[in-house]
Amino acid sequence: MAGAPGRLSGAAFTDADGDGRWSAGDTAAPDGDLVVATRVSADGTRESGDLVATVEQGRWSLTGLTAGIWLVYQPRTGQTLPAAQQPYRLTIGTDESETRGWDDVDFGVDPTAATPADATLSGTVVDADGHGLAGVVVSDLTSDPDRRTTTGSGGTWTLTGVSYGVHLVSHDEQDHARTPPAHDALLVAGGSSPATRTFTVLAPGRAEVAGTVFDDLDGDGVRDAGEETLSGLHLGLAGTATGGTWDAAVDASGGFVVGELPADTFAVSAPTGWTVTTGPVVVATYTSTVGDVAVGLHRPRVQEPVTPATPLTPSTPVTPATPSTPAPPAPMVTTPAPPGTPARLRARGRAGGVVLRWAAPAGAVVTDYLVEVRRPGAKRWTTLPALDAATTRLTMAALAPGRWWFRVAAVGSAGAGAASRPVSVVVRR
């Protein structure tokens, strides 16, 4: 059977004579004082977060300790138990009904030690590769109301003016936390106790970038009239700070979507024979959604040489032909055009699903609508069965959690028109 948790408990007292024992003249430590235990390796390296006990009527107790070496100290003074009494090596029994530990661990506190002034808690939030994550909200859940701060560009955070005591610190990416094993970290403000914590987040990034690629004929970096979209190409995105690279496939309508990006500035590279004329793409935070990015590509055009005209040789004058009766004009044949792009595509998330709405395009008669879907983490679009022309609303249920992308195209007698710009929505459980 799995081992039962270990226990440390004992007395806490003001050690007036400093002998490490509860003797005449010593009194119980005040209620609310703290005793902290931290699991350490044989060389003293910290292996776990703090377990904190509050003194009540001169007694303290820590339970739920795993087997190992535990260092016990008093954060108000930074004082540890006398060397003869610590560290403690717990031996956990194999019977789950057993709880083994020490029940008479007396802890002397220097009576002259004053309660520390307000302290500072700080730390970093990094991804699985060690890169700092900007824009993460870090909260001190112990204060009333919760005190919050947001990580800066390097993933650093600081909470100042923290009062002496136990503080439960969390962050808004706790579902993806790798360390510490529990999503929240116990910190103790004051004295020489640890006041920093680094959270490692498994997800390297959630940002997404979407846009279109156009043929920048004049190479000025601006999309002018007559400069059409390009399709069937692949762009490259390279993070200037993180060093990561991503591939962006350009679809038939000239659009592209790249997901799971960290906060960074991304240089865009073009296929062989093309040059990028627009600037880099900036993703401010790892949860940003950057849309309507226009990427211009320019390819030098080679003009065909003009062959000089052959000089005319004088010839015999031509006798004018007899005027004839003009033929009636041929009837004009009009080729129908596909419908325009559906307007005002909107997506609203709901529990386990999404609701899409759009408006009919102007111009040609619409016979059907095609809805395309890109699942979380996928790079290709999936086309759903066609909807009739009267349908401009679609409800989808039982979707997997994550960010979903959608776009809609109208179909007429001349075929499908251009798809709308993609929109995204996060589906939650």
Domain CATH for 30: 2.60.40
User: How far from chain centre, in Å, is Cα 128?
Assistant: 12
The per-residue DSSP string of 272-336 comes to TT-EE-S--EEE-STT-EEEEEEEEEE-PPPPPPPPPPPPPPP-PPPPPPPP-PPPPPPPP-PPP
Inside any domain, residue 319? no
Of 53, 82, 109, which marks where a domain is finished? 109
Q: Could you tell me if 190 and 136 lie in one domain?
A: yes
Give a yes or no: residue 99 inside a domain: yes
Question: Is the residue at 404 inside a domain?
Answer: yes
Report pLDDT digits (tens) over 104-133: 555 555 555 555 556 677 888 877 667 777
State which of 178-187, 259-268, 330-339 shows the largest mean pLDDT: 259-268
The Cα 199–Cα 186 span in angstroms is 12
DSSP 254: S
Q: What totals of helices (H) and strands (E) does the chain contain, helices first? A: 0, 35
pLDDT at 281: 87
pLDDT band at 364 (very low <50, low <70, confident <90, very high): confident
**Which residues fall within 8 angstroms of residue 207, CB to CB, at 6 or more apart?**
259, 260, 261, 262, 263, 283, 285, 286, 287, 288, 289, 290
Give the pLDDT band of residue 103 (cuts 50, 70, 90): very low
pLDDT at 211 over 70: yes
The top-scoring range by mean pLDDT among 287-291, 315-319, 418-422 is 418-422
Residues 211 and 274 in one domain: yes
The amino acid sitting at 361 is P
Q: What percent of the chain has pLDDT over 70?
A: 66
Q: Is residue 318 part of a domain?
A: no
CATH number of the domain within which 352 lies = 2.60.40.10
Residues 134 and 101 in one domain: no
* Secondary structure percentages of the chain, helix, strand, coil, to 5: 0, 45, 55
State the pLDDT confidence band at 3, using cuts at 50, 70 and 90.
very low
Which of 8, 61, 71, 63 is CA-nearest to residue 39?
71
- The CATH number that applies at residue 171 is 2.60.40.1120
Going by C-alpha positions, the residue among 95, 92, 74 that lies closest to residue 7 is 92
Instruction: Please tell me the distance from the alpha carbon of residue 213 to that of residue 203, in angstroms, as a whole number.
Output: 28
Q: Do residues 152 and 194 share a domain? A: yes
Is 180 a residue whose pLDDT tops 60?
no
Residue among 45, 61, 79 nearest 11 (CA): 61
Tell me which residue range forms the domain holding 93. Answer: 6-109
First CA to last CA distance, the chain: 35
Please report the pLDDT score of residue 254 as a whole number.
92
Question: Is the pTM higher than 0.85?
Answer: no
Q: Is 128 in the same domain as 81?
A: no
Fill in the DSSP letter of residue 66: P
- Residue ending a domain, choose from 165, 184, 201: 201
The tens digit of pLDDT for each residue in 241-280 reads 777 888 999 999 999 999 888 778 899 999 998 999 998 8
Q: What is the pLDDT of residue 20?
A: 64
For the residues 20-42, what does the mean pLDDT come to? Answer: 74
Give the up-direction half-sphere exposure of residue 63: CA atoms within 13 A in the CB hemisphere.
3
- Same domain for 105 and 37, yes or no, is yes
Residue 114 within any structural domain of the chain: no
Residue 305 lies in a domain: no
Q: What are phi and psi of 59, to 5 degrees?
A: -120, 155
- Judge if 219 and 291 occupy the same domain: yes
Q: Phi/psi at 174 (nearest 5 deg)?
A: -65, -25
Of 7, 100, 116, 10, nearest in space to 55 by CA: 10
3-state secondary structure of 176: helix
69-84 pLDDT, tens digit per residue, is 777 766 655 454 544 4
Does residue 331 sit within a domain? Answer: no
Residue 186 DSSP one-character state = E
Out of 109, 135, 155, a domain closes at 109
Q: How far apart are CA 53 and CA 273, in angstroms?
A: 68
Q: Please check whether residue 309 lies inside any domain of the structure.
A: no
Q: For a pLDDT cut of 90, what percent of the chain falls above it?
A: 15
Same domain, 11 and 102: yes
Residues 94 and 23 in one domain: yes
Q: What is the pLDDT of residue 129?
A: 66
Residue 401, H or E segment: none
- 95 and 144 in one domain? no
If one counts every other C-beta atom within 10 angstroms of the C-beta of residue 33, the result is: 24
| 213/195 same-domain check | no
How many structural domains is the chain composed of? Answer: 4
Residues 173 and 222 in one domain: no
